[in-house]
Structure 1
Amino acid sequence: MNLGTKTLLAIFSTSFRTPVRFYYNNIRIMQTVTLSQTNDSMPTIGLGTWQLQAPSNVIEPTVLKALELGYRHIDTAFNYNNEEAIGAAVNEWINSGKGSRKDLFITTKLPHVGNRASDVRKFVELQLTKLNMDYIDLYLIHVPFAFVCDPEALTPVVNSDGDYLLDVTTNHCEIWKVMEECQREGLIRNLGLSNFNEDQIKKIMDKASVLPQVLQVELHASFQQQQLRKFCAVNNIVVTAYAPLGSPGAKDHFVNKYKYSPDAFPDILGLPIVQEIADKHGKTPAQVLLHFLVKQDIVAIPKSTSEHRLKENMEIYDFELSEEDMNRLKKLDKGEDGRIFNFLFWKGVEKHPEYPFKLPPQVIKE
């Protein structure tokens, strides 16, 4: 965004828990949190790109439009199969003179087929090539479990019975050591985890030279992860929420491909309480739900290809939910019953020793 000669005011804080806010014409346009150890600023709203896949003539215009609207945080992953298109869009934006690489915060992730120390550097370098970038702002271990990798396709090997072939030798601490090496060499600026539980994080922290700075997990009004967030707050770990609106866009994908029940997807956008609070503030339910998260210093990465919704998802900093509003929304939490993504669509994954979630009784019996 070109502010010209307009005044840009920033309230800075060295404290991780205090957000940095930017204003333009008295309207808050961006908010960031400060990452531990590097003091890098991470925008609290980013563009999620899971399911934003081929053709590239959909991905690139979406990313370019998001950048034009003021997005500076883009979240991707090797498994999303869109790093090349995202890199092309980012470089087109930079080459057009609208901004520079240092203005952006790019997150990507080590895939489940690369969860071994010997493969970390290979994937980091491959992903940098795909993105056409010199460094990654934040690199996450995408999931704590690992699959055997098809070396040609770089996809999981699946047995004849449909079970995914597990690599049970996963050693998170050894993986983390190589990520630290990549950081020292300037390939990565910040390190984090995704879909890890508290015990798994602690084991890495016990051996790490660089402590985890970010944890990305499913988090929304129906599944607020209170205990895990308390642990992260104590340890200066920023929490990023994927599926912050309950992932309504993924519903058809999971119902059709993985035979999920439609009831597994909570319609938090349609809850009367959310609508009532939205009407009170002259906002949409999505804006209320996103504001609810960022007000608690949670980073949110909603995904959309609609210009209208992209703009809507950014316009969440010009109002304030009251304490009463916040408490009403906190009561929507269903705990573990609110979880959508348990990864059981990868058949047999629950047998991996690093499967991170508590299984429902019917799965344990099987």
Structure 2
Amino acid sequence: MTSINIPKLVLGSSASLNAIAVIGFGTSSNDSDSAPMKRAVLEAIKLGYRHFDTASLYGSEQGLGEAIAEALKLGLVASRDELFITSKLWCSDSHPHLVISALKTSLQKLQLEYLDLYLIHFPVSSKPAENKVYPIDEKDLMPMDFKSVWAAMEECQQLGLTKSIGVSNFSVDNLQNILSFATIPPSCNQVGMNPTWQQKEVREFCGANNIIVTAFSPLGGKGASWGSNVVVDNEVLIDIAKARGKSVAQVSLRWVYEQGAGVICKSYNKERLKENLDIFDWALTQDDLHKISSIPQHKMNDSPAG
């Protein structure tokens, strides 16, 4: 069994030091059958993936937990400590009194004692509900009590339920708000990011405040309800890929990596899983980077209301 050693980024906070692999395996899916995802997780572990990203919204926590248990049973990893597991707090649980119980429910589904990273999924709350719904009906959305919800997130870390805490889909204004009162600052901000939506302002702010950026939808979320083909059909990226003997996906992932960000990739195809890891022994040229920086930007939809 051969595997690639994936570089890591250190998640730093006053309370912990934790390292996250720069490429993670995403488990968001519209498929109610978890079997394909579980098979892909086991294949990904064989290839060297150690970071797995899920969320209470995705409905994939239980399937991922079963795959992790199987990987441990088969000896594909020696211990749970070799893996980095991220999950997320959904909007309907983004209330101070619900945060800890929501995390405990995620842990129960994952069959784990702790997470490596727990994120607030969106910077809004919604009416408490048993079922996770996306998009959220606008009448059910409500402002988040940032200070109290973040205090509950900090308590999750202090209790050892998660090693690190962070956020997702947060703007610079949202981050400034959190940082104004946080005892434990967010260690990560997971955002939609790719060459056609480069998130320069967010990346610069996060870099200045020791917050790791992790990119989801690095290919624009092709086929997803929030995505498009805007990345894979981009002529600049196609030309660079041809010149470099790489795929457009590899060019996009390499660009994210060269910005100092992590990236979440989702594929259940073994060859694509391997291809996504083949970005570390080559680099984009300054001319490539200049061309990519000139690509017109298309804002991704980052609203929980769809």
2:107 is the counterpart of 1:121: no
Deviation at 1:214, TM superposition (A): 0.2
Deviation at 1:272, TM superposition (A): 2.4
Aligned residue for 1:325? 288
Aligned residue for 2:245? 282
The question of whether the paired residues in 2 share the 8 Å contact of 1:53 and 1:59 is answered with no
2:67 is the counterpart of 1:85: no
2:113 is the counterpart of 1:150: no
The question of whether the paired residues in 1 share the 8 Å contact of 2:23 and 2:264 is answered with yes
Give the Cα separation in 2 of the matches to 1:101 and 1:68: 15
Aligned pair partner of 1:102 in 70, 81, 84:
81
Give the Cα separation in 2 of the matches to 1:235 and 1:110: 23
The question of whether the paired residues in 2 share the 8 Å contact of 1:52 and 1:82 is answered with no
- Residues 1:303 and 1:234: Cα distance change in structure 2 (over 3 Å): same
Give the Cα separation in 2 of the matches to 1:61 and 1:339: 33
Q: Which deviates the most, 276-285 or 307-316?
A: 276-285
The question of whether the paired residues in 2 share the 8 Å contact of 1:222 and 1:266 is answered with no
The question of whether the paired residues in 2 share the 8 Å contact of 1:157 and 1:165 is answered with no
- Residues 1:315 and 1:96: Cα distance change in structure 2 (over 3 Å): same
The question of whether the paired residues in 1 share the 8 Å contact of 2:122 and 2:304 is answered with no
Letter in 1 for 2:141: L
Give runs of ≥4 in structure 1 deviating > 4 Å.
154-158
Deviation at 1:333, TM superposition (A): 4.3
Deviation at 1:318, TM superposition (A): 1.6
Aligned pair partner of 1:42 in 20, 27, 31:
20
Deviation at 1:208, TM superposition (A): 1.0
Give the Cα separation in 2 of the matches to 1:315 and 1:110: 32
Deviation at 1:229, TM superposition (A): 0.9
- Residues 1:210 and 1:163: Cα distance change in structure 2 (over 3 Å): closer
SS at match of 2:6: strand
Letter in 2 for 1:40: N
The question of whether the paired residues in 2 share the 8 Å contact of 1:2 and 1:98 is answered with no
Give the Cα separation in 1 of the matches to 2:129 and 2:212: 33
Give the Cα separation in 2 of the matches to 1:290 and 1:2: 22
SS at match of 1:143: coil
Aligned pair partner of 1:60 in 38, 41, 57:
38
Give the Cα separation in 2 of the matches to 1:271 and 1:330: 13
Give the Cα separation in 1 of the matches to 2:85 and 2:296: 30
Superposition RMSD on alpha carbons, in Å?
2.0
* TM-score, scaled to structure 1: 0.78
Name structure 2 gaps, 5 residues minimum: none
Deviation at 1:281, TM superposition (A): 2.1
The question of whether the paired residues in 1 share the 8 Å contact of 2:220 and 2:231 is answered with yes
Give the Cα separation in 1 of the matches to 2:211 and 2:135: 33
* TM-score, scaled to structure 2: 0.93
Q: Which deviates the most, 184-193 or 38-47?
A: 38-47
Task: Map residues 123-138 of structure 1 onto 2, 5 A cutoff.
Answer: 123-138=102-117
Give the Cα separation in 1 of the matches to 2:83 and 2:141: 36
Task: Give identity over the alignment, percent.
Answer: 33
Give the Cα separation in 1 of the matches to 2:63 and 2:201: 37
Pairs aligned (count):
303
Name which one, 1 or 2, has greater alpha-carbon Rg.
1
Name structure 1 gaps, 5 residues minimum: 4-27, 255-263, 347-366
Aligned residue for 1:239? 213
Aligned residue for 2:140? 165
Aligned residue for 1:51? 29
Deviation at 1:94, TM superposition (A): 1.3
